[in-house]
Structure 1
């Protein structure tokens, strides 16, 4: 039988105790943000949670004891919230994108990926990092970076830099999209489609579109999932191209799943909802729980924006991430306005 460490603690118990302070803090701050939003509806709760997390990190108010729990919340709680979000949608919602809107989405992904990958080396950014940034910014953020990293034979530094850039620019997009959508007079549907087609992470899309309206959030999630589905063929295509070109082998390296498991869980939740397997009495309770979990994830993601680390990456990767974000936002908005 396994012997517990001295003091009667087990490895699992120690891990739980390490995670709890950050998790509880994120949940409490998120709950306060959502309560404030209920009192002052003009304040978007998810965005406020992200800004508080980022502000606390920048001000040095987060003790090191919170870091393990905040990191865990930013991954696990986020994915749980996204899966539960599927219970608010039915299959009909996922089929709601029109052919012209799908065409705009495909063009946005293709142009963002191609321009970023082409521009990176010309800015002095390594080809591997350029490929990771192109994948993360055109598809689904950190999950896409993780999926591409074995194919690209990327080292930990390049992966960490790409993820940091996704976090920074995706967080900026959370603020920019609702503000610009209002200034441009975009309809809720157009604003939601814009967020889903251009913002990097799933959670960032949820926060950006949720700051517009519930209707914008619904269509934004659909558009974002359509982008996520493109991850598998993109990674597979790059892998085939690199093998034909005699690129480095990834034999023996652990491959990340081509489609993140939480996306599979989201789709399963949609199917469960569509099949009528969720009692009507349960659905009203799911929504606030989902919002609270996503709010806690926003606090955690905000706390992971470390300006000092981003500064150490240098101006060139920062410039590449900025251009990739502008391209994604610009191409998708232009396409949506073009199709009316």
Structure 2
């Protein structure tokens, strides 16, 4: 069991010393490194590997106090850092390059999937938190969006389980889509531009979008990646609107009885980096470094989320939750495909 000191410190991770944090941070970082090694050498999705390895190390949270503080810090603070640094990849020039039709399609697909997810969750008897979490991750940028959305959703006893389930599901579905969607595009006779829009507008995770697009051609890969970056750029506005909506409804999470800031700091950092990058003030080499740091922070954070989650609880996820995220995935694929064919 955790001592009262550890419990108190976890409410404010920044109050902990480096000596208290480093064991858990080291374990999470090592797990991220192992996950990336598996991804590089065997082609497995790095996010999925980090989550699975993390789940196998849950005993570090249950049985030992030494790593708990660093694991919690990784799952919360390192996560926010990773999301913030995603902004360094966003440049508003990409919006102009694709045209208003594609941008409108991506926005419509996001809003429609959120509404569809909400309605399906109600029909399937699932809670509103899971509806927002799954629909947001499916319609924006997969595991990264899931973790960013979870950071501002009010927590309950199922929060960790739902996040791990969502990350696992969107990563698995993205991997399947990376294989199946290019075949669908070919069977439907989509041209190069339409194929790129379809792949970038439907596949959940960035890595799988890149893999699917460039497996077809360089031009399709470039278009798909650009469309995907537009979806990523919607993450900060979505989290901001969600935070304000929760605050207005009095449902936001409170730490120690205090209301959270109106705009989360990591959202402000994301928007600031996107703005600076759009002005061309971030050199390409710095942009690459920030992107790499974001990737490692996200891997470290998802490893920590896995460590905080009991595998038994993942296996207890109701079938309705699985049906929900599969339906959302199929829905956004249908919306984007239909819209792409109309634009073509």
Scaled by the length of structure 2, the TM-score of the pair is 0.67
Superposed, which structure 2 residues align to 1:1-340 within 5 Å? 11-30=16-35, 32-33=37-38, 36=41, 47-56=44-53, 60=56, 64=60, 69=70, 72-73=73-74, 75-126=76-127, 130=131, 137-138=138-139, 140-149=145-154, 156-184=156-184, 185=186, 193-194=197-198, 197-198=201-202, 205-212=205-212, 213=214, 215=222, 216-226=224-234, 228-233=236-241, 236=244, 261-279=265-283, 282=286, 292-293=296-297, 296=300, 307-340=311-344
> Structure 1 residues 174-183 or 286-295, which shifts more?
286-295
Gaps spanning 5+ residues in structure 1: where?
Answer: 1-9, 37-42, 150-154, 243-247
Alpha carbons 1:51, 1:299 under 8 Å: kept: no
RMSD: 4.2
- After TM superposition, give the deviation of residue 99 of structure 1 in Å: 1.9
Unaligned runs of 5+ in 2: 1-14, 215-220
Confirm or deny: 8 A CA contact 1:29 1:299 kept in the other structure.
Answer: no
Number of residue equivalences: 307
- The structure-2 alpha-carbon separation of the partners of 1:126 and 1:293, relative to structure 1 and needing over 3 Å to count, comes to closer
Q: Distance in 1 between matches of 2:137 and 2:245?
A: 15
SS across alignment from 2:126: coil
Q: Which moved more, 1:278-287 or 1:49-58?
A: 278-287
Q: Does the CA-based 8 Å contact 1:74-1:300 persist in structure 2?
A: yes
Partner residue, 1:3: none
* SS of equivalent to 2:125: coil
Q: Counterparts of 2:97 and 2:262 in 1: how far apart (Å)?
A: 24
My pick for the range that moved more, 83-92 or 293-302, is 293-302
Alpha-carbon distance, 1:175 to partner: 0.9
Q: Is the 8 A contact 2:89 2:291 kept in 1?
A: yes
Do 1:89 and 1:218's aligned partners in 2 also have CA atoms closer than 8 Å? no
Per-residue displacement from partner, 1:172-209 (whole Å, max 9, x unpaired)? 2331232123323477865665566456xxxx633332
In the aligned structure 1, how far is the partner of 2:245 from the partner of 2:329? 23
Question: Partner of 1:229: helix, strand, or coil?
Answer: helix
TM-score by length of structure 1 reads 0.67
Instruction: Give the whole-Å Cα distance in 2 for the aligned partners of 1:113 and 1:96.
Output: 26
Any conservation in 1 of the 2:147–2:163 contact (CA below 8 Å)? yes
CA positional deviation for 1:156: 0.6
What is the CA distance between 1:15 and its match in structure 2?
2.8
Paired residues of 2:153 and 2:253 also in contact (CA < 8 A) = no
